[in-house]
Amino acid sequence: MRNEIVTALAAASIVLVAAGQAAAEPDVWDSRLDDLGIFWVDAGVSPGAWYWRLVSAVYEDESESNGNHNIYYKALDSSGQPTEGQLCWAAWPTGAPEEYAEVYTKGELDGYWGDFPMYGGWCPYYPEGPRGPYGAYVDGPSDEVWGMGLPCNIHVNYRLVWQWTQKAEDAEPAVIEVRPDMLTPATTQGDTPPDDTLTVTNTGERVLQLQIDANADWLTVSPPAADIPPGADQAVSVTVSYSTEQLDPGDYTAAITLSDRDAANSPQVVPVYLTVTPAGGCSGGSGQPGTRAPAGVFLVFALAPILFRARKP
């Protein structure tokens, strides 16, 4: 694997994860690392195997590094607690074979950070120039970070955190199931219909990382996001609220979109059909809703029998 990385650095191209392996991306990846051409490589272990998973990679620029120029290492155990004395490695593919340096994580006094000082810079740096020369990983099966260094000899730091993790077994993607599949609220002008509820379940095998969006000002959803494990007993209720007091009478249409880029059937859309009727009144002689017949008409019909009796010979 590392020979491939050396070749990739020389060619200024990123090493891809081996085909068929599902990579668990870091929970935190500083976007500034991308700007410098720095990348991570999955350990490539089989499902069920234990390995050092990269969970966080943070860049500290010249204003944040306090004049230091280090790669910092932290290793968490399977429960998320930092470990002292864990062997890690710094490597730089500048020779044949590669050169390495041992790095050990430290104790509580140092925040459990091990550190490796960098002295190799490059200018111009990526993308005009090459990536940095340094790589970092934990001893044993481990995700790796490559392309680090001192851009134009500026003093910067890289803070990397790994956790001892069991590779997830292969599983089917999440599947979004939502009920009901349509909402038809109704109200009168100046009023608001009662809240509705959507019930969302995940009928797949992976966790559903759901985003919920409404596309109308008079429509809100809560919560706007939820992580839903597989199983019918893990259903999440989404409250749909309406703010229709300012709407004129008429029919309105909106949509609630439920999405997860990794779900098998994303996105799912629930249409909302709202009806607002005029406030008060009843149908009268004009035939228009909310109008009344003139009061004099009722008076004439009420007096008609008396008038007819008065004229009878």
Structural domain of 39? 2-166
Largest CA distance in the chain: 133
CA distance 89 to 19: 26
The fraction of the chain above a pLDDT of 90, given in percent, is: 66
Q: To 10 degrees, the CA torsion angle through 82, 83, 84, 85? A: -140
Statement to judge: residues 159 and 18 lie in one domain: yes
Give 157-170 pLDDT, tens digit per residue.
999 999 999 987 77
283 pLDDT above the threshold of 70? no
Statement to judge: residues 141 and 13 lie in one domain: yes
Statement to judge: residues 142 and 197 lie in one domain: no
Statement to judge: residues 102 and 123 lie in one domain: yes
Statement to judge: residues 53 and 125 lie in one domain: yes
Contact 56, 159 (CB under 8 A): yes
- How large is the average pLDDT for residues 64-70? 97
Statement to judge: residues 253 and 124 lie in one domain: no
Six-digit token string for 21: 């392996």
Statement to judge: residues 63 and 155 lie in one domain: yes
| Cα–Cα nearest to 12, from 30, 36, 44 | 36
Give the pLDDT of residue 17.
38
Contact 254, 274 (CB under 8 A): yes
Contact 76, 141 (CB under 8 A): no
Statement to judge: residues 11 and 159 lie in one domain: yes
CA distance 313 to 310: 8
Average pLDDT, the chain: 84
Statement to judge: residues 129 and 190 lie in one domain: no
Give 210-225 pLDDT, tens digit per residue.
999 999 999 999 999 9
CA distance 94 to 133: 7
Statement to judge: residues 27 and 129 lie in one domain: yes
Contact 114, 7 (CB under 8 A): no
51 bridge partner residues? 165
**Total tally of structural domains belonging to the chain:** 2
More confident residue, 42 or 306: 42
Neighbours of 167 (CB within 10 A): 20
Query: Which SS3 state, helix, strand or coil, does residue 219 take?
Result: strand
